[in-house]
Structure 1
């Protein structure tokens, strides 16, 4: 009898989560250079050329899936930019405290379609330097979620040259399009936090009367170090 009740409860949970369609974050790892190949605002580099020829970074008003909604632009860097870190995935990652000629903290956004249900936002973060007041990143989903991270001295979980996984849960009660945003919040000194590998996924809703797994409602972290070859 207990087995039957447990099976029915898990089946109910599966039915509940099926109503929350998996959200697709477009170009969450910033590697798409075919759908849109813009020209940089600072150095005039084509996005597709950053990893192969010329300078290894530039600032763009828009890239595939993402647009600048505040500030001067989205700075895309590649594995050739710094000696301290490579992209978490692929060759491109983002900095939102743009180059002096762009001269501002910026916000990048995209709209995602979400059904009713519970979701997890995840992305990888790294501070660029040792000044926590310089590396702040704020993340949000249209009134449903608001959080921030900085480092390294503000948190033992982050370190220069290391990618840290940031995860946060949020709930959608009305299906529709919601704006996912990332913003630089530190000093406007061109040395901001890095962002890579962004995703939103649906998560199961527990059946009535069952407890959430320990830690499910907490922000989760893990670390992964990637350094450029000498």
Structure 2
């Protein structure tokens, strides 16, 4: 089954409608090594080699489209890393409570150019451990456009270890400009955190009247799961 979660932003959000295919995110599935192929900071592995040789994971200051905003760096894992879960798409996915190179959780960001209008942020999430306190991921878009979080297992509408859950949130842009999309590990700093993959922002039709939600309503919605635990 596929699972989708709609989230109300702190600035107000809406129940999600079908979106267009106009992707705004660079390297949202973390597979692009054609323009940037860094060596890892922990094991020295080249990003392009993680899926096939050497260590199956490493930590990077920057990958195509994304840079570290705080903490140890962006930990990229591959389908060879755990055996309990594969990437939602391709070979790579991200963990931000990464290898303890520092004493803090990590965050990553990407600058996104947006025109005025209605948009949907979507990404796939999985908790790594059975402890929901370890798996929290915060996400936000600057300018007060969007702010939310996801955690699990089961703390957020049935999220489960070894399964990918689709998270969706609507937001409105009043003024065209460059905005910062940020993901941050926000759980216990124990090097075991939530996973994210297949990040996207798409333009959507203006929601029907009455679908806008007040701030602070938290998690909404329903839907299903993808990927088995092995």
Judge same fold: TM > 0.5, yes or no: yes
SS at match of 1:29: coil
The residue that corresponds to 2:13 in the other structure is none
The residue that corresponds to 2:71 in the other structure is 71
Specify which structure has the bigger relative contact order, considering alpha-carbon pairs within 8 angstroms and separated by 6 or more residues. Answer: 2
Aligned partners of 1:92, 1:184: CA distance in 2, in Å? Answer: 18
The residue that corresponds to 2:100 in the other structure is 100
C-alpha RMSD of the superposition: 2.3
Contact 2:88 2:124 in 1 (8 A): yes
Contact 2:161 2:229 in 1 (8 A): no
SS at match of 1:30: coil
Q: Offset of 1:79 from its aligned partner?
A: 0.1
Aligned partners of 2:44, 2:161: CA distance in 1, in Å? Answer: 29
Distance 1:161 1:138, change over 3 A: same
Contact 1:157 1:221 in 2 (8 A): no
Q: Offset of 1:222 from its aligned partner?
A: 3.5
Aligned partners of 1:227, 1:50: CA distance in 2, in Å? Answer: 22
The residue that corresponds to 2:160 in the other structure is 159
Distance 1:102 1:58, change over 3 A: farther
Query: Which runs of 5 or more structure 2 residues have no equivalent in the other structure?
Result: 1-19
The residue that corresponds to 2:146 in the other structure is 145
The answer as to 2:75 corresponding to 1:47 is: no
Q: Offset of 1:159 from its aligned partner?
A: 0.2
The residue that corresponds to 1:178 in the other structure is 179
Q: Offset of 1:224 from its aligned partner?
A: 3.0
| TM-score, scaled to structure 2 | 0.83
Distance 1:221 1:97, change over 3 A: farther
- Alignment size in residue pairs: 206
Q: Offset of 1:227 from its aligned partner?
A: 4.1
Aligned partners of 1:191, 1:57: CA distance in 2, in Å? Answer: 14
Matches within 5 A, 1:8-27: 22-27=22-27
SS at match of 1:28: coil
SS at match of 2:31: coil
Distance 1:201 1:100, change over 3 A: same
The residue that corresponds to 2:192 in the other structure is 191
Aligned partners of 2:211, 2:145: CA distance in 1, in Å? Answer: 22
SS at match of 2:133: helix
| TM-score, scaled to structure 1 | 0.83
Contact 2:72 2:99 in 1 (8 A): no
Aligned partners of 1:106, 1:56: CA distance in 2, in Å? Answer: 19
Q: Offset of 1:195 from its aligned partner?
A: 0.2
